[in-house]
């Protein structure tokens, strides 16, 4: 992904509810974030050059966001998301494109999960549609 110019952000190591972890101990959230950084380092040989964070399941609190910011991360959320995280429960390609075309606006952050076979099928069509709107795809 990096070799193709994509940026990889922190989505946590253990993918737990960060609000629940924070209530137990801020150290647990910190360790979860650093755990991801170490995995990134092990996989790439370097530490991230961009510091984006998205809370697992989009669950966060002010305390979580404060800690994430203190660690140097910029929290990113999304405007467009599909219930596509479960490989056994996928929309049809036609239904997926309908929702994406209906909900995507200039500047939208779109959440698509890579485990979705439907997303793989429609990704090029979706990218082509975005370009046909004279929009560009960029990192926030």
Least Cα distance to 20 among 55, 52, 54 occurs for 55
* Mean pLDDT for the stretch of residues 28-42: 96
Q: For 73-90, how does the pLDDT look when each residue is reduced to its tens digit (9 = 90+)?
A: 999 999 999 989 889 999
- The answer to whether residues 74 and 48 touch, using CB atoms and an 8 Å cutoff, is no
Domains present along the chain, CATH in parentheses:
2-75 (3.20.20.370), 80-132 (no CATH)
Tokens of 7: 């940026």
**Hey, is 80 helix, strand or coil?**
strand
- The answer to whether residues 79 and 103 touch, using CB atoms and an 8 Å cutoff, is yes
Report d(CA 63, CA 60) in Å as an integer.
8
User: How crowded is the C-beta side of 91, counted as CA atoms within 13 Å?
Assistant: 17
Q: What is the structure's pLDDT at 6?
A: 83
Report d(CA 128, CA 140) in Å as an integer.
20
Higher per-residue pLDDT: 127 or 49: 127
Instruction: Assess whether pLDDT exceeds 90 at residue 99.
Output: yes
Least Cα distance to 102 among 129, 135, 74, 72 occurs for 129
pTM of the model: 0.81
Q: What is the structure's pLDDT at 76?
A: 92
Q: What is the structure's pLDDT at 39?
A: 96
* Mean pLDDT for the stretch of residues 31-35: 96
Instruction: Assess whether pLDDT exceeds 80 at residue 19.
Output: yes
Considering the chain, what is the average pLDDT of its residues? 93
Q: For 111-136, how does the pLDDT look when each residue is reduced to its tens digit (9 = 90+)?
A: 999 899 999 999 999 999 999 999 99
């Amino acid at each position: 992904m990096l070799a193709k110019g994509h940026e990889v952000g922190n989505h946590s190591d253990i993918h737990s509810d960060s609000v629940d972890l924070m209530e137990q101990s801020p150290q647990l959230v910190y360790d979860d974030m650093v755990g991801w950084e170490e995995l990134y380092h092990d996989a790439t040989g370097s530490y991230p050059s961009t510091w984006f964070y998205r809370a697992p399941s989009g669950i966060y609190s002010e305390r979580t966001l404060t800690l994430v910011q203190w660690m140097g991360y910029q929290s990113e959320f999304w405007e467009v998301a599909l219930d596509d995280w479960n490989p056994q429960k996928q929309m049809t390609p036609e239904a997926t494109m309908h929702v994406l075309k209906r909900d995507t606006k200039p500047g939208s952050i779109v959440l698509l999960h890579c485990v979705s076979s439907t997303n793989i099928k429609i990704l090029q069509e979706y990218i082509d549609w975005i370009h046909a709107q004279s929009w560009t795809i960029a990192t926030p």
